Structure 1
Amino acid sequence: MINNVTLVGHLTRDPELKYTANGTATATFSLAVNRNFTNQSGEREADFINCVIWRKPAETLANYAHKGTLIGVTGRIQTRNYENQQRQRVYVTEVVVKDFQLLEKKSSESQSNYNAPEQHSNDFQANNHANNTPFEGSNLDISDDLPF
């Protein structure tokens, strides 16, 4: 079975970071993902997709992303249900995020106001491979015998 999701969108609100009773971090957020077409009025519509992320990635997302941030996520779709206070069955479908990537640079204004601990900042920069190319400055010899 395959259950893979890849989304790119803007956060509709700041991630809501919480901790379970045993101390596991979890964050919930919603992504606004534009549709690939416009409606009859010529306007582009969006889907608002609920997401949840766990453990260290949840803390990292809550520290570095805020409402309006463009991010890419990968994960899986999950459905669950529960009984609310009115004894009605409520069904929830959400994306359980495995990994995410910030897709835009911080503005100079937000960088000057950013006071995160240096260790987290360096860890984030070391893991952000968007501007690093492993072949920069080297010549690659690719033969014409490629199978595709």
Structure 2
Amino acid sequence: MAKGFSQAVVMGNLVRDPETKQTNSGHSVTGFTLAVNGRNDDVAYIDCTAWNKGGETIAQYLHKGDPLLVSGRLNQSRWQDKDGNNRSRIDVVVDEFAFIGGKNNSDGSSTQTAPQANYDEPAPVSSINIADIPF
């Protein structure tokens, strides 16, 4: 079977503050959800995951309600819940991101924002197919 390709570009507002956690191997992973307004007051909620420095930057500078543009690959996680039901979730694993606009404080000054950012640090692979290893 041929390999597929998935790429997502999403622009929306943070539903809540990003949350950063550390993995057992020492990598940081930041999770957040973007609300994307559509037509007729439809809203799509898109879960996103950013790894290491990129995620840390997002968590440092952005908060609930802030706009963000992300680009990345789609990732599907599968698991069984406590009742034995099969569950799945699709999220965007962020490869690049850009801060959009800025807010003004009550005194008229702008809040601190980082420059447009992207990072080349690859996201960890959640599973490896032994057949894909070239040796």
TM-score (norm 1): 0.68
What displacement does 1:112 show?
8.2
For 2:80 and 2:52, locate their aligned partners in 1 and report how far apart those are by CA, in whole Å. 26
Q: Secondary structure at the match of 2:42?
A: strand
For 1:49 and 1:113, locate their aligned partners in 2 and report how far apart those are by CA, in whole Å. 25
**Based on CA coordinates, which of the two structures has the bigger radius of gyration?**
1
| Alignment counterpart, residue 63 of structure 2, candidates 62, 66, 74 | 66
Q: How many residues align?
A: 113
Residue 5 of structure 2: aligned partner: 2
Residue 17 of structure 1: aligned partner: 20
Q: Percent identity?
A: 30
For 1:16 and 1:109, locate their aligned partners in 2 and report how far apart those are by CA, in whole Å. 26
Q: Given the alignment of the two structures, is residue 105 of structure 1 paired with residue 102 of structure 2, yes or no?
A: yes
Distance 1:27 1:21, change over 3 A: same
The unaligned stretches of length 5 or more in structure 1 are 39-43, 115-120, 130-148
- 1:1-148 aligned within 5 A: 1-35=4-38, 37-38=39-40, 44-109=41-106, 124=114, 127-128=115-116
What displacement does 1:90 show?
1.4
For 1:49 and 1:128, locate their aligned partners in 2 and report how far apart those are by CA, in whole Å. 21
Distance 1:55 1:85, change over 3 A: same
For 2:37 and 2:8, locate their aligned partners in 1 and report how far apart those are by CA, in whole Å. 15
Q: Secondary structure at the match of 1:108?
A: coil
Distance 1:16 1:77, change over 3 A: same
Q: Please, what is the CA RMSD of the aligned residues?
A: 2.3
User: Structure 1: which 4+ aligned runs deviate by more than 4 Å?
Assistant: 109-114
The unaligned stretches of length 5 or more in structure 2 are 118-135
Q: Secondary structure at the match of 1:17?
A: strand
The structure with the greater share of residues assigned to helix is: 1
